Chain A
């Protein structure tokens, strides 16, 4: 199978993830969409590794996974504590950053 197809898939997944981040309000869903984008990138890396015949892409994919795992831990913890404090998982409710 032509490896370029994997890249199309990666682009499709990334777009779905990005759209989700931009339009959804539920923090959990936004968070999942971010994960989706990260995995789309991972797929692209692996596909490139296959296309170019070296392992660099695969190694970076592993890095990404590790970082994503760490991020999930921190991110979920924040979401949970925000939910506890405000009884809402909507990202629009947490608009305290503006002056």
Chain B
């Protein structure tokens, strides 16, 4: 069975290699090859899952050592895999949602001449993401970590002829690199503290290490997670990443890759458990981001950017839960999985809408689309109900548990974190209702563009709607399936541990207030966007709205502090290098040249003057000799 793990990663990698090296002759079948490899990986995942279910919960971990990767004195990095319940959850999510999105992309990218390459990149992403979650040590995880970053870079910038896409891709990679710096420092700290960076030895020895070191490792891991999961302060890339094709946004920037940070924190749970300060930092980051993303999501008119804000916010929930320790780990992952379903479904729905609307993304130019695309409307609507936490659907079960766990943190912290999570739930209900109303309800607001092409909204082909339906089914039932009887918690418990939280108020009160704030959020949104017609041109809005439209000024900040500062720094360094460092050398050369010019005048070519200097020299020598004798 262990050998299948390597195959799990190898299948999509092989697919990527075939598609990217195969050249144009594979153009006609490229998308089928890519989908086949993704599906093969999913089948392998299911086989492994079935095998895992057959074992007792304590013995479900599979280990596979492939080969010694970097053998250097005192430093042993191996290529080895570890598949436990946590990894398995991710494997199924990645390959399952991944395969669905491959299928969807067959339709979505049909008219793109570079479709083969798109599927190659998607396969590359799957391979890297699988490597990330099945690696048995941090260094190999790092390979997957950067690998998904690369795939994300390639896919965001897939339409490279658009400068905005190329810039967004570069930005995403760079911001992620800052996070990667955190991960590499964390690995180096582990190496100096434990002498290794394999999961097993490190996580089992946390008891012996000093708390200072563990806090440092934890904070560095948090930095890494912030980069990959678009958490404050490294959140700025996610909105721009929506420049990529919509299936990419669904797979990478909603369902899987951006949740890698949560995986990292949960995987390193033992480190965080022993470092309360780092844990506190994690919860703060999570709480701040969940509000940040929600506020940004309220102001965006671009449907994908509104959903991106929402993604940021939902991951904030997961990070918050992961920072709560064993009472939260399982719920973080549970929300991650349900979010994977409904957010992927929402993005695919958005893609379907754009597909029918000539790639228009401005929701102010939608309106009343429920009549034109009924399947999209229903699947999107189910995803919408799931994300706002409508009782009985997926999001309800997972989000409610996180809010409960946040209150259970206890003391002032518990009230603040729980309050933030509740407020976030209200805002979530508001902005998602806004998206729903602006897109599918009201009057039609689209007009012919400057070429006179009027969009003709239509339902997407089956190859696109079927994945949406599957995901919608998941959005409806996954939560109940996982949540009832604590099935999911028990599944993950051997890996992450679990403690029951004890909120200061009863669990029922928390649930009821969650539902109440949701209703309030929906009501506000209905009052603003349902009862009144939506203006086609966005109103100026309040100061907060305008700031939120600009992503709460994140880019302005980065621009002023980092970009401008950096430009000035490099420009002045180029000047310094040219004038100062080089100048010293050139100056020496010039001085030498000047001196030799003077000396050259002595060589006037007259034999007599040479003779004079000879005689003079001889006289001086003789005088000196005599003088030395005399002394």
Residues of chain A having any CB pair with chain B under 8 Å: 18, 21-23, 25, 30, 91-92, 94-99
Contact = CB atoms under 8 A, between A and B. Distances in A.
A21 B611 contact: yes
Contacts, number: 28
B604 A95 contact: yes
A99 B606 contact: no
A78 to B, nearest CB: 12
A95 B606 contact: yes
Q: How large is the interface on B (under 10, 10 to 19, 20 to 34, 35 or more residues)?
A: 10 to 19
Nearest to A92: B606
**Among A21, A94, A96, which residue has the most Cβ atoms of chain B within 10 A?**
A21
A92 B600 contact: no
A22 B603 contact: no
Contacts of B604: 95, 98
B75 interface: no
B612 A22 contact: yes
A68 to B, nearest CB: 18
A94 B607 contact: yes
Contact of A99 (B600, B607, B612): B600
A70 B604 CA distance: 29
A95 B611 contact: no
Nearest to B608: A22
A22 B606 CA distance: 11
Which of B604, B608, B611, B615: most chain A Cβ within 10 A?
B608
15 contacts: A21-B608, A22-B608, A23-B608, A30-B607, A91-B607, A91-B608, A92-B608, A95-B604, A95-B606, A96-B605, A97-B605, A98-B603, A98-B605, A99-B600, A99-B603
Contacts of A97: 603, 605
Interface in B422-446: none
A21 B618 CA distance: 15
A22 B607 contact: no
A23 B604 CA distance: 16
A22 B615 contact: yes
Interface in B320-347: none
A92 B611 CA distance: 13
Interface in B512-558: none
Contacts of A23: 608
Interface in B570-618: 600, 603-608, 611-612, 615
B606 A91 contact: yes
B593 to A, nearest CB: 14
B611 A22 contact: yes
Contacts of A91: 606-608
A98 B609 CA distance: 12
Given A21-B608, A98-B605, 11 more contacts: A18-B615, A21-B611, A22-B611, A22-B612, A25-B608, A30-B607, A91-B606, A91-B608, A95-B605, A95-B606, A99-B600
A92 B606 CA distance: 6
Contacts of B603: 97-99
A56 to B, nearest CB: 21
Contacts of A94: 607
A94 B608 CA distance: 11
A92 B607 CA distance: 7
Nearest to A98: B605
Nearest to A21: B611
A98 B607 CA distance: 10
A31 to B, nearest CB: 11
Contacts of B605: 95-98
A42 to B, nearest CB: 18
A99 B607 CA distance: 14
B570 to A, nearest CB: 44
Contacts of A30: 607
A24 to B, nearest CB: 9
A30 B610 CA distance: 14
A92 B609 CA distance: 10
A92 B619 CA distance: 24
**Which A-B residue pairs are the 4 nearest by beta carbons?**
A95-B605, A98-B605, A97-B605, A91-B607
A25 B608 CA distance: 8
Contacts of B612: 22
Contacts of A25: 608
A21 B603 CA distance: 18
A30 B504 CA distance: 120
Of B600, B605, B612, chain A has the most CB atoms within 10 Å of the CB of B605
Contacts of B607: 30, 91, 94-95
A22 B610 CA distance: 9
**Most-contacted residue by chain B among A96, A97, A99 (CB, 10 A):** A97
B178 to A, nearest CB: 60
B612 to A, nearest CB: 6
A18 B65 CA distance: 95
A82 B607 CA distance: 14
A85 to B, nearest CB: 16
A4 B608 CA distance: 31
A36 to B, nearest CB: 14
Contacts of A98: 603-605
A30 B607 CA distance: 10
B429 to A, nearest CB: 90
Contacts of B600: 99
A25 B607 CA distance: 10
Contacts of A22: 608, 611-612, 615
A22 B600 CA distance: 21
A43 to B, nearest CB: 19
Nearest to A96: B605
A40 B604 CA distance: 30
A98 B600 CA distance: 8
Nearest to A99: B600
Contacts of A21: 608, 611
Contacts of A95: 604-607
Contacts of B606: 91-92, 95
Contacts of A99: 600, 603
Contacts of B615: 18, 22
A37 to B, nearest CB: 11
B127 to A, nearest CB: 70
A92 B604 CA distance: 10
Nearest to B604: A98
Contacts of B608: 21-23, 25, 91-92
Q: Which of A23, A95, A96 has the most CB of B within 10 A?
A: A95
A21 to B, nearest CB: 6
A40 B611 CA distance: 18
A18 B600 CA distance: 26
A96 to B, nearest CB: 6
A97 to B, nearest CB: 5
